[in-house]
Structure 1
């Protein structure tokens, strides 16, 4: 009987341990859950990831993610909100540096592109999460967090570079180009990039890619001051 009681007590202690840990360190537990959820959602997608799986990966009880976030959808949104909050923080930090530097537009643009290049390279899970959203038609994206991050970036680039900030104006077009150029090679480092002869295996390869992107965008910025003339042959009619 004593052994049975001891075994029961041990099992009960194991069951309550994650709850006690949660109560002692709610901030740490919440962060661990978000980290685990981010990795799993990025690797497997929303549908294939369960809350119990997130709890196990986070080192807490299976029920703890639901305790903190309610549903899987709410946890997923919390992961995205945290990611976009990091985007906004990076934009604000970059803007503060740009305004304090008193540098010209070329130096500001080069710094902004390099910052974003590094930001994405350091957050592969964020890139995968957004790619999954794109493939799913953006159905799970909240309409606030990602839009606010985009608008902050748009405002920053229009103010710093003095570009037209109207819908589909030069600032918006340049921002989309920066995102596309800094994003694509991370998604296709093992598919399209090697197929067209671009190696992305080490730091030197990525520095070469960064330099190319910065140079391309700087030349593009310089070209914004010149009228665009089409190089296409106009259609001609024949008698």
Structure 2
């Protein structure tokens, strides 16, 4: 039996533990038993509050998507409200990029969950991409294209691929940082490295905008 409408403490604890474990181990390597053990509950109690493992995973990904969509929607609203002049539009687009990067850094579990899916975790649950990722990417690409067209920018740019590039790089940096010449992993708390990454991402975006039309 599943009680999907139960938003009490037990359900929240289960979802929090499931989010952490799915992000760390992936869908395939995370059992309902392990999630239950993380919160001191048995499998039957987990199922009562959230359902079986696929239902639990959908709930985790739905919550992650809602947080992601909320941040992206706010950033798109700021982008759409910018002055249509080219210089202001460029600055606003970089502001959008920075807002998404900041979201990834503040909520590292969200990039981790999506990166696990990139590794073909939970492939039987293809509706995660159909319902969540696909529509959001398309919405962002259409919104960015409209703002750029208004300013006369990026006529030669593949905006959908630009959106994916921002997502790939922001997610990867939020999770792995960079490796220096000595083999040390420098993460997101290393402010000089973060600044260097941000400036590089800005340069990538700007370079795409300056690509000549075919």
Which TM-score applies when normalising by structure 2?
0.77
* Cα distance, 1:141 vs structure 2: 3.6
1:133 to 117, 120, 123: 117
User: Are 1:90 and 2:71 an aligned pair?
Assistant: yes
* Cα distance, 1:199 vs structure 2: 4.1
Q: Which structure 1 segments of 5+ residues have no match?
A: 1-21, 164-168, 229-239
Q: Is the 8 A contact 2:14 2:46 kept in 1?
A: yes
Q: Is the 8 A contact 2:137 2:160 kept in 1?
A: no
Query: Which protein shows a greater Rg?
Result: 1
C-alpha change, 1:183 and 1:195, in structure 2 (3 Å) is farther
The CA distance in 2 between the partners of 1:159 and 1:138, in whole Å, is 35
Moved more, 175-184 or 193-202: 193-202
Q: Is the 8 A contact 1:36 1:54 kept in 2?
A: yes
Q: Is the 8 A contact 1:91 1:152 kept in 2?
A: no
C-alpha change, 1:44 and 1:184, in structure 2 (3 Å) is closer
Alignment match, 1:52? 33
Q: Which structure 2 segments of 5+ residues have no match?
A: 151-156
- Tell me the SS of whatever aligns to 1:113: helix
- Tell me the SS of whatever aligns to 1:40: helix
Alignment match, 1:113? 97
Number of aligned positions between the proteins: 197
**1:26-175 superposed matches below 5 A:** 26-58=7-39, 60=41, 62-102=43-83, 104-136=88-120, 139=123, 140-142=125-127, 143-162=130-149, 170-175=158-163
- List per-residue Cα deviations over 1:98-127 (Å, max 9, x = no partner): 233436220111101101111112222222
User: Are 1:184 and 2:172 an aligned pair?
Assistant: yes
The CA distance in 2 between the partners of 1:196 and 1:187, in whole Å, is 19
